[in-house]
Structure 1
Amino acid sequence: MRHRVKKKHFDRTKEQRLALYRSLARALIMEERIETSLQKAKAVRPFVEKLINLGKKGDLSSRRLALSLLPDRRVVKRLFEDVAPRFENRNGGYTRIIRLPERRKGDGCELAILELVE
């Protein structure tokens, strides 16, 4: 039964799901625009928005929390120095999901573009 289960599991264990979120968030922060499946984009969006909120705070404890969620110093540095200051006057909604009209060839999955709002 799926009572009170609010997140997508993607048929993965918790560790595998966290690795998926980390890799998608890393790619989004570095490239600022990624193409992925619609369900993965919807699932990783809150993870990325929490990271950007930590980046907006900018203090040492926020940096350490961001490093625990996304253990790549290069990405966290870019998050705190380049990405988060752009959203200083914005209270939320840092990402945008754009559905693509075509589906993926192999499995017919809906595709989407996940990007940072300018």
Structure 2
Amino acid sequence: MRHRHTGRQLNRNSSHRTAMFRNMTSSLVEHEIIKTTLVKAKELRSVTEPLITLAKNDSIANRRIAFNRTRNKATVGKLFTELGPRYADRPGGYIRILKCGQRAGDKAPMAYAELVDRPARSSDAFDDDVEMVEEE
């Protein structure tokens, strides 16, 4: 029976699925935007959002719980130093999923998973690059 089983199987065994979502969570926290399939992005939300909620309260116990779920010290550090304080006033909904067409090889629906309120890439850096090209 399938009672009270939540989440999608994604044609993977449980250890593969766990490792995949740990890696995707680490990538999302590090880069703040990743491109993946739509189904994986929707499942990623259920893994990553509780970690960000946990990071709002910085304590040794919470850091250990986060490390147990991600197995990445850099991810835990960024969660508790940057993302926890950034989303302290937000009650949830930290990840935005934007559809971006289909993959060329198999027409799988693709999506961007990004953190809400992430700092935009500075336009000053872009302007500096444009000026350097114009000078040459």
Q: Flag whether TM exceeds 0.5 (same fold).
A: yes
Q: Secondary structure at the match of 1:57?
A: coil
**What is the 5 A alignment of 1:57-96?**
57-96=57-96
Q: State the Cα distance separating 1:83 from its structure 2 match.
A: 1.3
Give the residue type in structure 1 aligned to 2:70: L
In the alignment, what sits opposite 2:24? 24
User: TM-score scaled to structure 2, two decimals?
Assistant: 0.82
* Percent identity for Structure 1 against Structure 2: 37
In the alignment, what sits opposite 1:109? 108
Give the residue type in structure 2 aligned to 1:105: A
Aligned length: 117
In the alignment, what sits opposite 2:38? 38
Larger Rg: 2
Work out the CA distance in 1 between the residues paired with 2:55 and 2:4.
31
Q: State the Cα distance separating 1:75 from its structure 2 match.
A: 1.1
Work out the CA distance in 1 between the residues paired with 2:40 and 2:61.
29
Work out the CA distance in 2 between the residues paired with 1:58 and 1:14.
30
Could you tell me which runs of 5 or more consecutive residues in structure 2 were left unpaired when the two chains were aligned: 118-136
Q: State the Cα distance separating 1:54 from its structure 2 match.
A: 1.1
User: TM-score scaled to structure 1, two decimals?
Assistant: 0.94
Give the residue type in structure 2 aligned to 1:109: A
Q: State the Cα distance separating 1:7 from its structure 2 match.
A: 1.2
CA RMSD in angstroms comes to: 1.2
Structure with larger RCO (C-alpha < 8 A, sep 6+): 1
In the alignment, what sits opposite 2:47? 47
Which 4+ stretches in 1 moved above 2 angstroms? 1-6
